[in-house]
A and B are shown apart, each in its own frame.
Chain A
Amino acid sequence: MHNSFMTWFLPFLIIVGKSLLLLIVLLLLIAYLLYIDRKVWAAVQLRRGPNVVGPWGLLQSFADLIKFIIKEPVIPAGANKGVFLLAPFVAAGLALSTWAVVPVSYGWAIADINVGLLYIFAISSLEVYGVIMGGWASNSKYPFLGALRSTAQMISYEVSIGFVMVTVLLCVGSLNLSDIVLAQNNGLGTWIGIPFASFLDWHWINLFPMFVIFFISALAETNRPPFDLVEAESELVAGHMVEYSSAPYMLFFLGEYVTIVLMCAMITILFLGGWLSPLDIGWLNRVPGIIWFFLKVCFLFFMFAIVKAFVARYRYDQLMRLGWKVFLPLSLTMVIITATFLKITGWR
């Protein structure tokens, strides 16, 4: 009995503990990233942004949380109740579950699985279900149309995201996310003889076109402006979320932001060297990896927020054209070029 406790139950408890810790940190982080998002947006438009709740408005997200929870959830009379309530849980649950494989520092992943990259790709391709179930179950025209548009958009950009991931893993030779980060210890910087500038070793410099494509595709995949055609706050209402209110709406909202932070983390891991320090200097190397990871994610989120503030919204046909006629051929060509280059030079 004691033996089975040590071999099965204790690891189980440790995993549950780790997951809870990650969940709490992630949710706190999102509360403040939401605040940063609104502040940046406000600053660009010469407004103040949230500044009433708490000092400098720091508690705004928590006030919003309480508001969402104590409001009455309204379920439309003709809605398919089960699916209607299931959809937000699917959206938020799937978004959160992708974080299980993200290594936030060396060896700091809940599940350091061999096919980590594929896992993230698989789960993020499932996130479409939250959208389409919500849109259909509302039993109303506009959510349904919004859901269809959103689904088409997400599926289109998944293709180019997939090819970008293929290029990176061609350079690395592993689907394990930790291996992808560790492979960025050696790269262009080391090769041209500047060993201390380890930020030159990362993939963003030798795969720069892929870095840009991934960033833009991530914006489209998460329905962020300039690709937020589904929500388009100034024209439509909220796409597939029109009929949702209070806690179910909050879950959709949460899922969306968790996915955005995940995309920032993915860009960090694939292109910006994950938890590695940008300069190979003694005291910088002693800074814990998670700090670097956090700073990089915050930087990328800032980029997401800035893009939201000053890029005009795309039209739907332009969005589809960009996805299928520009990004798909470009990323496919880059896969072929990278593979050929690696085969000829034997770089890896």
Chain B
Amino acid sequence: MLTGPAAVFFYFFSLIMVASAVMVVAVRNPVHSVLFLILTFFNAAALFLLAGAEFLAMILLIVYVGAVAILFLFVVMMLDVGFIELRRRSFKYMPIGVLIGFLLLAELIIIFLSSSFSSKFSAVVSAPIDMVTRSNTQALGDVLYTDYAFYFEVGGIILLVAMIGVIVLTLHHRTGIKRQSIAEQVSRTSETAIEIKKVESNKGI
């Protein structure tokens, strides 16, 4: 149980987080919605910090707030979609949304129930870190690069493939545009760049 100032901070951040998560779906303006999502992420990072997982908190900020949410913001700001219209139609999908919500809730409950039954699960999840000799970051790195190195690298390769795929899909080399080729510019010499012509008097070239 949390006591003292830690509890105060916990409830403070959780309250803001839940409130802003509600605002994400409640506000009309999609840009405001993304901004509230950022506030939610930010408070989640604060909760991670309170739990002593400082590395996860910083990674959450860097990856989600610093990159993913900016992408959302770009898309929402630049796409000219009739969001009000979209919102009106979205009530059609209400039942399926509620269904998925309940499914996720049920799964969460099952996870917590199974954790109390399976002894191995709780041993893995709540294995204590020797905080005196190793920091959070080191402990995470040790696990990630030894026991789970294979999965980690597979994950990395999947992301790389996705990135290359996106580049291939969106890259169009249009012809007829003047492009700057740095290598070509640098490799020019006075012989290839300048042409000297003898101009006779009273005549053009």
Interface residues of A (CB under 8 A from B): 4, 8, 80, 83, 113-115, 118-119, 121-123, 125-126, 128-129, 132-133, 136, 144, 148, 151, 155, 158, 175, 317-318, 321
Cβ–Cβ < 8 Å partners of B180 in chain A: 317-318
Cβ–Cβ < 8 Å partners of A121 in chain B: 58, 62
CA distance A83 to B38 in the complex (A): 14
Beta-carbon contact of B66 and A114 below 8 Å: no
Cβ–Cβ < 8 Å partners of A4 in chain B: 4
* Nearest neighbor of A132 in chain B, beta-carbon distance: B73
Check: B95 CB closer than 8 A to any chain A CB: no
Q: List 22 A-B contacts (CB under 8 A).
A: A4-B4, A80-B31, A113-B54, A114-B135, A114-B137, A115-B137, A118-B58, A119-B58, A121-B62, A122-B61, A122-B62, A123-B61, A125-B61, A125-B67, A126-B61, A126-B66, A129-B70, A133-B35, A136-B77, A155-B67, A155-B70, A321-B182
Cβ–Cβ < 8 Å partners of B10 in chain A: none
CA distance A8 to B29 in the complex (A): 41
Within 8 A of A (CB), among B123-142: 135-137
Cβ–Cβ < 8 Å partners of A113 in chain B: 54
Within 8 A of A (CB), among B22-75: 29, 31-32, 35, 38, 54-55, 58-59, 61-62, 65-67, 70, 73-74
Looking at B58, B135, B180, which has the most chain A CB atoms within 10 Å of its CB? Answer: B58
Interface residues of B (CB under 8 A from A): 4-5, 29, 31-32, 35, 38, 54-55, 58-59, 61-62, 65-67, 70, 73-74, 77-78, 135-137, 180, 182
Beta-carbon contact of A114 and B54 below 8 Å: yes
Partner of A83, one of B32, B54, B135: B32
CA distance A175 to B57 in the complex (A): 14
Given contacts A155-B70, A321-B182, 6 further A-B contacts (CB under 8 A): A80-B29, A83-B31, A114-B137, A118-B58, A128-B66, A132-B70
Cβ–Cβ < 8 Å partners of A83 in chain B: 31-32, 35
Beta-carbon contact of B67 and A136 below 8 Å: no
B97 shortest CB reach to chain A, Å = 28
Cβ–Cβ < 8 Å partners of B58 in chain A: 115, 118-119, 121-122
Beta-carbon contact of A8 and B135 below 8 Å: no
Cβ–Cβ < 8 Å partners of A321 in chain B: 182
Beta-carbon contact of A175 and B137 below 8 Å: yes
CA distance A104 to B107 in the complex (A): 49
Cβ–Cβ < 8 Å partners of B29 in chain A: 80
CA distance A175 to B135 in the complex (A): 10
Beta-carbon contact of B70 and A8 below 8 Å: no
B132 shortest CB reach to chain A, Å = 13
Partner of B136, one of A80, A114, A128, A151: A114
Beta-carbon contact of B54 and A115 below 8 Å: yes
Shortest 7 CB-CB contacts between residues of A and residues of B: A125-B66, A122-B61, A118-B58, A122-B62, A122-B58, A115-B54, A114-B135
**Given A8-B5, A129-B38, A136-B77, are A118 and B55 neighbors across the interface (CB < 8 Å)?**
yes
* Nearest neighbor of A137 in chain B, beta-carbon distance: B31
A230 shortest CB reach to chain B, Å = 16
Cβ–Cβ < 8 Å partners of A114 in chain B: 54, 135-137
Cβ–Cβ < 8 Å partners of A123 in chain B: 61
CA distance A128 to B61 in the complex (A): 13
**Given A83-B32, A136-B31, are A115 and B70 neighbors across the interface (CB < 8 Å)?**
no
Cβ–Cβ < 8 Å partners of B5 in chain A: 8
Partner of B65, one of A8, A126, A132, A317: A126
CA distance A23 to B63 in the complex (A): 29
CA distance A321 to B183 in the complex (A): 12
CA distance A83 to B58 in the complex (A): 25
Cβ–Cβ < 8 Å partners of B62 in chain A: 118, 121-122, 125
CA distance A151 to B72 in the complex (A): 13
B139 shortest CB reach to chain A, Å = 12
* Nearest neighbor of A113 in chain B, beta-carbon distance: B54
